[in-house]
Amino acid sequence: MKYHHASPVFWAEVLSAAAAAALASLTFLWPGWIEALTGIDIDHGNGALEWVLVVGFAVVCSGLSLLARREWRRASPASA
């Protein structure tokens, strides 16, 4: 049985995708976390920035997940 060796690039992509997913979820569930953390209200309370961030983090998460999948498949042993 051949073992699958994941590269450091794979792990960087997976961890970055997980961070983006966590930030998207946090922003979706608690839109005011940015204002609470920084004290700055860029969009003056209308929530537009938060929705842009949710979509942006989701897109980044999807892209990094696809890159990690490609890296995983590239490093996988050839099947007989």
Give the model's pLDDT for residue 53: 93
The answer to whether residue 65 sits within a structural domain is yes
The answer to whether residue 80 sits within a structural domain is no
HEC sequence for the chain: CCCCCCCHHHHHHHHHHHHHHHHHHHHHHCCCHHHHHHCCCCCCCCCHHHHHHHHHHHHHHHHHHHHHHHHHHHHCCCCC
The answer to whether residue 16 sits within a structural domain is yes
pLDDT tens digit sequence for 21-66: 999 999 999 998 988 898 888 888 888 889 999 999 999 999 999 9
Does 79 score more than 60 pLDDT? no
The answer to whether residue 3 sits within a structural domain is no
Full domain range(s) for residue 55: 8-75
* Number of domains into which the chain is organized: 1
The answer to whether residue 30 sits within a structural domain is yes
pLDDT tens digit sequence for 7-17: 899 999 999 99
Give the model's pLDDT for residue 80: 46
pTM of this prediction exceeds 0.85: no
Does 76 score more than 60 pLDDT? yes
